[in-house]
Amino acid sequence: MMLGSFNLVGCQPAQSSASLKHLAPAGAQQAGPTAGADSLLLTPVPAVAELPDTLRLAIAQLGTDLGPAAAELRPEVLAQACVGYLTLHPTGRIERAGRLAVADMDLPNTTERLWVIDLVQRKVLHRSLVAHGQGSGHLRARHFSNVEQSACTSLGFYRTSGTYGGVHGYSRRLLGLDKGQNTNAFDRYVVLHAADYAGPEYVRQHGHLGYSRGCPALPPAQYKQIISALPAGSLLLLSGPGLASRWLDGAAAGRRFARRGWR
């Protein structure tokens, strides 16, 4: 839903504490961060540690095979998503083989920065715009929090859960898998849902997307297909500056890939 007027609490800056001065006031959608915070220079993504060469090459080949639809999906972010998938699947925390979604929240919200990928068929099933929380910034998400009423996006890996009919219609619950980073997602009602402010028409009118209370809100024209493509037990990664996850285990991912590939 669109952000109402309430105090923002607990937003951690992605870079330095000085960047907090760019945080938009609660309820003041038109007042975003300064141009410096919305620089088009992307934050470098650290390489996943201990990633075997065989898996590194397989991820690079996957990126090539995904074709033009994944041209703006940074290789390092794709690697994060793939490593998380390979590390999490054997634990039973995710159950849908060969399916993942990844959003690069460091990209401007005017970019289609969400991808739903079939790893086995090696193709992009869906690509779309996705909104971030108002507490996270204006054009780009720069501040993140797991705290209730922060109105911030929470970085990390999520397991998709059941669907329900809410205020925004057909919606899907999300369960955070990164302790301290997104594990309050269920209590914060962070879900996949549609929003008029998350579509291309809103961008044409305002020059940027609107903001949620922390949900990765989707365009009305695509949300049903995307939610249906991520049935319960699927993996979603919200990547961004400062992402740290125990599931980014290159060695464990390499062992799993050697045994089973992407299945």
Q: What is the value of pTM for the model shown?
A: 0.86
DSSP bridge pairs for 29? none
CA distances from 241 to 39, 93, 167, 192 (A): 14, 24, 31, 21
Instruction: Give the pLDDT mean for 6-30.
Output: 33
Q: What pLDDT, on a 0 to 100 scale, did the predictor assign at position 41? A: 86
pLDDT in tens, 199-209: 999 999 999 99
Please report the domains of the chain, with CATH numbers, ordered by start residue.
46-260 (2.40.440.10)
Q: What pLDDT, on a 0 to 100 scale, did the predictor assign at position 146? A: 94
Whether the predicted pLDDT of 16 surpasses 50: no
Average pLDDT over the chain, rounded to an integer: 88
Q: What pLDDT, on a 0 to 100 scale, did the predictor assign at position 2? A: 43
The span from the CA of 57 to the CA of 35, in Å, is 37
The span from the CA of 261 to the CA of 182, in Å, is 28
pLDDT in tens, 100-131: 999 999 999 999 999 999 999 999 999 999 99
Q: What pLDDT, on a 0 to 100 scale, did the predictor assign at position 84? A: 99
The span from the CA of 51 to the CA of 53, in Å, is 6
Whether the predicted pLDDT of 24 surpasses 70: no
Compare 138 and 12 and report the one with higher pLDDT. Answer: 138
Compare 36 and 215 and report the one with higher pLDDT. Answer: 215
HEC sequence for 138-184: CCCCCEECCCCCCCCECCEEEEEEEEEEECCEEEEEEEECCCCCCCC
